Amino acid sequence: MMPITPELLDELLKDYKSPDDMFGDDGLLQQLTKAVVERALQGELTHHLGYERHGPAGKNSGNSRNGKSSKTIKGKRGQLHIDVPRDRNSEFEPQFIKKGQTRFDGFDDKIISMYARGMTFR
């Protein structure tokens, strides 16, 4: 993992003016949480399908990405609207946030600790 540099922190916090910018409904923490959750779900789908997005291995494979569906999960800091990727054959069963799961407690703390240890979100 890449360490968090002062430059990365400066970039993340450049528009920070109040605690609401960090912890509000559309604050930095919510945006980071959404980005990490959606990236993890995309990674799970890539693993399930066995090829990268737009990869040649997916051509005529019998199953492929088929858009996204919206989902709202509830956590310690309120609701988070995420996009969950789908596959054409409806065989994809996400493990990070399972089908039907609506609560996601303790995740904010995990996100903060991941970034503290050096995870980035590009």
Which tops the pLDDT comparison, 121 or 28? 28
Nearest to 74 by CA among 37, 42, 45: 37
Strands, E, within 8-116: which ranges? 65-75, 78-87
Two tokens at 80? 């988070």
* This prediction's pTM: 0.75
The DSSP annotation for 39-58 comes to HHHHHHHHHHHTS-TT-GGG
pLDDT tens, 79-94? 899 999 999 999 999 9
Q: Which residues contact 39 (CB under 8 A, 6 or more apart)?
A: 121
